[in-house]
Amino acid sequence: MKAIEIKHPLIEHKVGIMRDKKTGTKEFRELASEIAMFLCYEAMRDAQTEEQEIETPITRTKVKKVNEDKYAFIPILRAGMGMSEGIIRIIPNAKIGVIGLYRNEETLEPVRYYYKVPKDIQEREAILLDPMLATGGSAIDAIKMIKQDGVKKIKFLCLIAAPEGIKKVEEMYPDVQIYCAKIDNHLNDIGYIVPGLGDAGDRIFGIK
């Protein structure tokens, strides 16, 4: 499946603000959350709904509601947590798992240090959250982990993706649909996306 780039003037506007090195922590964090909401809307176009009968102020009627028990949202630490707030805003009862990975700055390979997902994860659709899809190493490692737990359907949401990372994930896991706000040009020689946002985790948490 080809990566889906969400094209919308509001997303272009918000990504443009995030790219600016002058944008502060508070605004950067809020924008990451807002864009995550846009991505979630798109990724859940095929969400399963169940019909329920309710009473409006006027009469009884049938409505369709999403069965939230069929989904699990899994941010990849630490930067992925910056997207989870936006998810919770629109799906307040969302089940949130956590995968802790960091990138070895010398090898650029992901290192796992934490893993916690819902016990019935194999019965849910898993939606991974990570602001940057750069080399693809962390995404592939996270996908492998949840596939080993029996998950059949997986989607990956990110703010910015590099062509190299997309290609690597698509080659390894062609059944995983990628959704992103922007596909950038390339990776530089130290594995950062160009033009990118810089280190999204550092900017979300105000470390640098």
107 catalytic residue (yes or no):
yes
Catalytic-role residue among 20, 61, 107, 120: 107
- Phi then psi for residue 94, to 5 deg, are -60, 140
Beta strands (DSSP E) in 6-146 are: 49-55, 60-66, 71-77, 98-103, 110-116, 125-129, 132-133
Q: Is the predicted pLDDT of residue 121 greater than 70, yes or no?
A: yes
Percent of the chain clearing pLDDT 70 (strictly above): 99
Domains of the chain are 4-205 (3.40.50.2020)
59 catalytic residue (yes or no):
no
Largest distance between two CA atoms of the chain: 64
202 catalytic residue (yes or no):
yes
Q: Is the predicted pLDDT of residue 208 greater than 70, yes or no?
A: no
In this prediction the pTM is: 0.91
Average pLDDT, the chain: 93
Catalytic-role residue among 19, 89, 103, 112: 103
199 catalytic residue (yes or no):
yes
DSSP 17-36: HHH-TT--HHHHHHHHHHHH
Catalytic-role residue among 19, 25, 149, 202: 202
Q: Is the predicted pLDDT of residue 191 greater than 90, yes or no?
A: no
